[in-house]
Amino acid sequence: MLNNIKAAIFDLDGTLVDSMMIWQKIDIDYLKEKGHELPKDLKNDIIHLSFKQTATYFKNRFNIEDSVETILKHWHDMAFKYYSTNVKLKDGVKEFLDKLKSNNIKIGLATSNSNELLEVCLKANNIYDYFDSITTTGETEKGKDSPDVYLLAAKRLDTTPDKCVVFEDILPAIKSAKVAGMKVVAVKDEFSIDSKEDIINASDKYITSFFELI
């Protein structure tokens, strides 16, 4: 999988760290505060959106009076404690990052999360310094259903798309990385297990642990 690869681009939530269920809890708690229950279709509607797009979606769908910026700040405050203390790496992540470094493969992050949360999470897990570049969907103003965040990440790593491998856990993101012309390794996550067969078919390789790549 690493043959002819010059750069590896990782998603954060659900790929490097076990955090997707935390966001579901935040969604439930936030909507409860606003007098709503969690709709069954919410996950599929927002899974590919950027942080700001998700806040806009919530504001419009649930008629929330708060500004998008206020919603984002509230979510950030709810999530910060989790990300600084309770969000842990998936099995084999650090060992695989060590392998990439030893092979002189550049490492980038492409995430829908905020800069503040991703930084505290990576630092809490002692992997922040592994990354040569960090790119968020907030910089492209498009979600993970667009290849833009991956193309920008590759540009920052000074690598062409065909020399990049992307690690992702959700189907829309996997499809977008393929559209960008990159190889894709799908990472098992319980949050997206319902799409497992489609994820396997859309990706170049499917793993349940990063130890499989060492």
Quick one: 64 and 104 in the same domain? no
Quick one: 78 and 105 in the same domain? no
Strands of the sheet containing 7-10, edge to edge, are 133-136, 106-111, 7-10, 164-168, 183-187, 205-207
**C-alpha R_g of the chain:** 17
What CATH number is given to the structural domain containing 12?
Answer: 3.40.50.1000
| 114, two tokens | 């905020």
- The answer to whether residue 43 scores a pLDDT higher than 90 is no
Quick one: 97 and 76 in the same domain? no
The span from the CA of 156 to the CA of 131, in Å, is 11
Last residue of a domain, one of 85, 117, 132: 85
Whether residue 92 is contained in a domain is answered as yes
Cα torsion 195, 153, 96, 84 to 10°: value is -80
pLDDT tens for 83-135 read: 998 899 999 999 999 999 999 999 999 999 999 999 999 999 999 999 999 99
The span from the CA of 189 to the CA of 174, in Å, is 13
Contact 27, 38 (CB under 8 A): yes
Query: What CA–CA distances, in Å, run from 153 to 7, 52, 108, 121, 166?
Result: 10, 19, 7, 19, 10
Quick one: 29 and 58 in the same domain? yes
- Mean pLDDT along residues 53-59: 94
The span from the CA of 91 to the CA of 112, in Å, is 22
Quick one: 153 and 57 in the same domain? no
Quick one: 137 and 68 in the same domain? no
Quick one: 200 and 101 in the same domain? yes
User: What is residue 85's predicted lDDT score, i.e. its pLDDT?
Assistant: 87
Quick one: 161 and 209 in the same domain? yes
Quick one: 111 and 124 in the same domain? yes
- The answer to whether residue 1 scores a pLDDT higher than 80 is no
Cα 51 to the center of its chain, rounded Å:
11
Range of the domain at 33: 20-85
Last residue of a domain, one of 43, 58, 85: 85
Quick one: 176 and 209 in the same domain? yes
Helix axes 148-156, 171-179, angle to 10 degrees: 60
Whether residue 2 is contained in a domain is answered as no
- Please provide residue 134's backbone torsions phi and psi, each rounded to the nearest 5 degrees: -130, 130
Cα 1 to the center of its chain, rounded Å:
21
Quick one: 151 and 46 in the same domain? no
Domain count, the chain: 2
Quick one: 147 and 75 in the same domain? no
pTM of this prediction?
0.87
- The answer to whether residue 48 scores a pLDDT higher than 90 is no
User: What is residue 81's predicted lDDT score, i.e. its pLDDT?
Assistant: 84
The residue among 146, 142, 122 whose CA lies nearest residue 132 is 122
Burial (CB < 10 A; 0-12, 13-18, 19+), residue 4, is: exposed
User: What is residue 166's predicted lDDT score, i.e. its pLDDT?
Assistant: 99
Q: Which of 14-18, 67-71, 79-83, 135-139 has the lowest mean pLDDT?
A: 79-83
Whether residue 178 is contained in a domain is answered as yes
DSSP structure class, residue 196: H
